[in-house]
Amino acid sequence: MLNKYGYVRVGAVVPELKVGNVEFNVEEIIQEIKKSAKRGVELVTFPELSLTGYTCNDLFHQDILIKESLEGLTKIVNSTKTLDILSIVGMPLALDNQLFNVAVVLQKGKILGVVPKTFIPNYSEFYEKRWFASATNAISDTVLLNGEEVPFGTNLLFQEEGNKDVCFGIELCEDVWSINPPSNEHALNGATILFNLSASNEIIGKQEYRKNLITMQSAKTISAYVYASAGVGESTTDVVFSGHALIAENGSILKENKRFEFTSTAIETDIDIERLINSRYKDISYMGVKPTRSYRKILFTRKDKNQNLLRTYPLYPFVPKDERKRNERCYEIFHIQSSGLAKRLKHTGIKKTVIGISGGLDSTLAFLVIVEAYKKLGIDPKNIMAVTMPGFGTTDRTYQNAKRLIQNFGATLKEISIKEACLVHFQNIGQDLHTFDITYENAQARERTQILMDIANKEGALVIGTGDLSELALGWCTYNGDHMSMYAVNTSIPKTLVRYLVKWIADTHESTKETIYDILDTPISPELLPPTKDGDIAQKTESSVGPYVLHDFFLYHFLRNGFRPSKIYFLACQTFQEMYSKEEIKKWLIFFVRRFFTQQFKRSCMPDGPKVGTVSLSPRGDLRMPSDADFTIWLKDLETI
């Protein structure tokens, strides 16, 4: 099941270790390989020189240690030959009259290849050149192990048979710290997963630096990076090792172990290969540097197992879960929005703006952005023409909130009812006043936009749009109505993020906090249909289009990751299993696909607006999509589930 959606389960193990005791270390490695296999791990790595210990020092010159390592390798190979798991272990290896620090790849009783370390540290507490030669000194490209010639070299990539996207390369410890790590070339030649067998000691600040290094290397190479470092079982004569293990994917840490453990520790997670490949396709600069080396591809096999996905995906992919990061994100977005508008005002020389205030979230955010832009430019907020336009569906709650919001910030309040104009218009076009259809709704939206545009002409002002990214994705906006403005500040803010942004701003404005909090508590609605008998909002958007939390999830993975609908459905079922049934998720996903494709014509002529995140629908930048694209194959993909 997981293979179908492009996942590979990888692991990193830091085994309990005794320096120089190969027999003990080998037994521990074998047990950990077996445990990883039971947990469904397909590719697992151990630390550098894990058969002997990294800190053997001059004991590496002892012939008995080198021979014991070879015998230990044979035992590992034979003891795991019935397992499907592919394992990578570290050991010293004699070849070409030299001793190399190598990673050995083995699976199903066979050694697939051997990768030597390239960069040999010889500074500060490191003096590896005393024992080991660099891979650049190697003469042979094969080595005799267990009676068979095995590929040897740094130009080895290991690729799944029948699937070129599942491909990995290996580097050792110092290699990744160099100015041009071997993993750069591995990735350019197709490696989507990178393994590092390491022995990195601990000094103050190194853990954080190491973590940042691994994270950044995974981002630079658009890959998964699996890192396992030597543990506290190493010698403490001069340094201490913590046994740091990390799994990163394209700039994000997916898993990290607890360091300084005296027993074996292991981490594993599922790598999303499809996401990595899609990101590489999008990043045209990725292959801007052409590969300079030729590689040997070594094939291995995997079995598709029916197991649950280990990794989780956030319910709100546009909203950081961590409060500190969320606040930082809100700060950045708010200032991108307000700076974009300030630049437009400064460029045009216009000091007045017009905005429709409904008492809802979107118009509140847009209004607050205008206020901030005026602060940046030193313009009196009286130049904000904030217009409330009560219609047939306006409730007293939203009406009063709109007025209080405007007055609290010192903007110019204009109140213009659209009822009379709409009644005349209904009469002119023969619309029954009691027929609450799309014409009834859209006529009100267009009337409001006409009022805003005409006031802008009269005042020499710019109309500021309030529509958000989620509405644009679904086309849930009236063409040439709320769809149109002269500058749209919310155009790349998804609905689920709007709420957090508005709350963040409210928390910094004590005088308006009560009003904004009530707006936050108001149901999402265009208020185009008459309210209930109790005066409450009768028309709730999510009853018609579905939950925005689902649509934002669909949108993110559809555009940001390029996932097919069946995979999005699979992830949504995992993520929302306690909130929505599989039937509901499929229903709204079909709705999303249909709306996304059929409403592109609205996005093709959308007004300017600032991009704030990786997902944007601007026809001038991020989404060049034909308005008449057929969605058949996307819906057909959902039939496979």
User: Rounded to the nearest 5°, which phi and psi values hold at 548?
Assistant: -65, -25
> Which of 32, 42, 117, 414 does the annotation list as catalytic?
117
Q: Containing H/E element for 186?
A: helix 182-188
Hey, what long-range contacts does 280-284 have (CB within 8 A, 24 or more apart)?
280/222, 281/562, 282/562, 283/222
**Identity of residue 206:** K
Token readout for 312 is 């989780």
Residue 573 designated active-site = no
Residue 173 designated active-site = yes
Q: How far apart are CA 607 and CA 576, in angstroms?
A: 34
> Which of 32, 160, 167, 173 does the annotation list as catalytic?
173
Residue 582 designated active-site = no
For residue 385, what are the β-bridge partners?
Answer: 354, 412
Q: How far apart are CA 223 and CA 31, in angstroms?
A: 29
Question: Cβ(373)–Cβ(381) under 8 Å?
Answer: no
Q: Say how many CA atoms lie within 13 Å of 411 toward its Cβ.
A: 31
Compute the residue count for the chain. 641
DSSP-derived 3-state class of residue 302: coil
Helix, strand, coil shares of the chain as percentages rounded to 5?
A: 40, 20, 40
Q: How far apart are CA 296 and CA 227, in angstroms?
A: 23
DSSP designation for 153 = S
Rounded alpha-carbon distances, angstroms, from residue 280 to 187, 190, 275: 10, 10, 9
> Which of 32, 48, 128, 471 does the annotation list as catalytic?
48
Q: Based on C-alpha coordinates, what's the Rg of the chain?
A: 31
Token readout for 473 is 């994705």
User: Rounded to the nearest 5°, which phi and psi values hold at 280?
Assistant: -65, -40
The catalytic site residues sit at 48, 117, 173
